[in-house]
Amino acid sequence: MRHQEHFQLLTFYKFVDIPEAEAHRLVEEQWKFTHDIGLKGRVYIGTEGISATVTGNAGQLWAYREYLNSVPEFQNIPDIDSKANNVDGHKFDKMTVKYRDEIVTVGEKVTAQEVEKFRKELTPEAFKQILDEGKTDEYLILDMRNDYEYQLGHFKGAIPAGTVNFREVPKLLERYRETAKNKKIIWYCTGGIRCEKAAVIMNKAGLDEVYAIEGGVVKYTNTYNDGNWLGNLYTFDGRVSTQIGDGQTHTTIGSCLYSGKPTDNCENCRYAACNARLIADHKEYLAHGGFCSQECFQNAQNDGLVKNVDWDPYNYKMSVREAKRAGGETEKEMMEALKNHIISRYGKVTFRHLLSQKETSIIMD
């Protein structure tokens, strides 16, 4: 009987001041080490510290933790274990280690000293108490993620922040302060880093009583299976849509883009220029050719910028490339053939949305 490897996904960060030259050196060192042991994922290192999401088997992750603890800057990383998740294999195609001026982009850099001084966080235990005791009227709970992430799943009592860029957060807070009527503001992100950093910046600027949830959604849902999270959790790795809870506590709140029926499934629009993230039943997604809207369906017929998939035998990328290479009347004929293929397969379906569902991403943490 073949031994089955045990894999985990680690997502972690640490704010620590690192000189730029040293940060570049650590990037090179970490790239070599993670490649040598076979990890896959993303690591960002900069003058603010480190932020990472990686997958590996038990031996690889043991070695990686030992390596991190051997680097003075990366010792004692908060929540590296409490935010770990068991997975069935690697959830990334490759290993990427890069230098970033900001380890998470908010539009302003912070120092470790500022983080320590101005950080305001609620522990998962404290946040759970607020939800369990029905004290949400005393707080404004903001979901700072993309709209499709909120629609797939969110905390009870949370509302979408309604911003697509963290640079808009000061204006956002001022707007919500009037709505909140001096309530304390709690906001959250997937892994916690972006909201913690933004809360530090806001509190530093004098906008007091802005709290992040320690460890974000991941730490809370890893700690409690209590039904306070509704729906699935969107993650920026191979899992994409991850069930939270079990048969007793899980609730599906996602609504299919095409039919409106409940679903936890996520896909991407196949029109490459759109690539919108969709909450969609998989069968409905196939029936609609993977296009999110009438606009994308029409644009795909005109320019052929369609992502190849195993359930549609047409090689769009190669066909468009060969058509452009041929030029003239041959190009027109080949593009007409591509258009006819799309129409013949998907021309009888109707779309609930006329326009592309693409939105500007807020975060990827």
pTM over 0.95: no
Q: How far apart (Å, rounded) are the C-alpha atoms in residues 245 and 220? A: 12
Q: How far is CA 255 from CA 44, 153, 260, 265, 281, in A?
A: 34, 11, 5, 9, 9
Same domain? 134 vs 215: yes
How many Cα atoms occupy the beta-carbon half-sphere of 21 within 13 Å? 0
Q: How far apart (Å, rounded) are the C-alpha atoms in residues 157 and 159? A: 7
- Position 343 scores a pLDDT of 97
Domain that holds residue 150: 112-243
For the annotated catalytic residues, the residue numbers are 189
User: Does residue 23 belong to any structural domain of this protein?
Assistant: yes
One digit per residue, the tens of pLDDT, for the chain of length 365 reads 455 679 999 999 999 999 999 999 999 999 999 999 999 999 999 999 999 999 999 999 999 999 999 999 999 999 999 999 999 999 999 999 999 999 988 888 999 999 999 999 999 999 999 999 987 778 889 998 889 999 999 999 999 887 656 667 667 767 766 666 678 889 999 999 988 998 888 888 777 678 999 999 999 999 999 999 999 999 989 899 999 999 999 999 999 999 999 999 999 999 999 999 999 999 999 999 999 999 999 999 999 999 999 999 999 999 999 999 999 999 999 999 999 999 999 999 999 999 999 976 544 44
- Position 330 scores a pLDDT of 96
Helix (H) or strand (E) holding 30: helix 20-37
DSSP 168: G
- Position 180 scores a pLDDT of 63
- Position 205 scores a pLDDT of 79
- Position 303 scores a pLDDT of 97
Same domain? 90 vs 120: no
Strands 241-243, 153-155: pairing is: unpaired
User: Does residue 168 belong to any structural domain of this protein?
Assistant: yes
What is the number of other CB atoms lying within 10 angstroms of the CB of residue 329? 8
User: Cβ distance 191 to 364 under 8 Å?
Assistant: no
User: Does residue 352 belong to any structural domain of this protein?
Assistant: no
Residue where a domain terminates, one of 37, 65, 99: 99
Same domain? 12 vs 95: yes
How many Cα atoms occupy the beta-carbon half-sphere of 329 within 13 Å? 0
Same domain? 181 vs 291: no
- Position 165 scores a pLDDT of 64
Same domain? 85 vs 165: no
- Position 210 scores a pLDDT of 84
5-20 burial: b if 16+ Cβ within 10 Å, else e: eebbbbbbbbbbbbee
User: Does residue 167 belong to any structural domain of this protein?
Assistant: yes
> Any bridge partners for residue 57, and if so which?
7
- Position 209 scores a pLDDT of 79
CATH of the domain at 130: 3.40.250.10
**Token duo for residue 51:** 């932020």
Q: How far apart (Å, rounded) are the C-alpha atoms in residues 291 and 297? A: 6
> Any bridge partners for residue 52, and if so which?
12, 43
- Position 107 scores a pLDDT of 81
State the total domains in the chain: 3
Q: Which one, of 3, 11, 44, 9, lies nearest residue 192 by Cα?
A: 11
Same domain? 167 vs 60: no
Same domain? 15 vs 95: yes
Same domain? 237 vs 116: yes
Q: How far apart (Å, rounded) are the C-alpha atoms in residues 97 and 110? A: 21
Query: Any residues with CB less than 8 A from the CB of 159 and at least 6 apart, and which?
Result: 140, 141, 142, 143
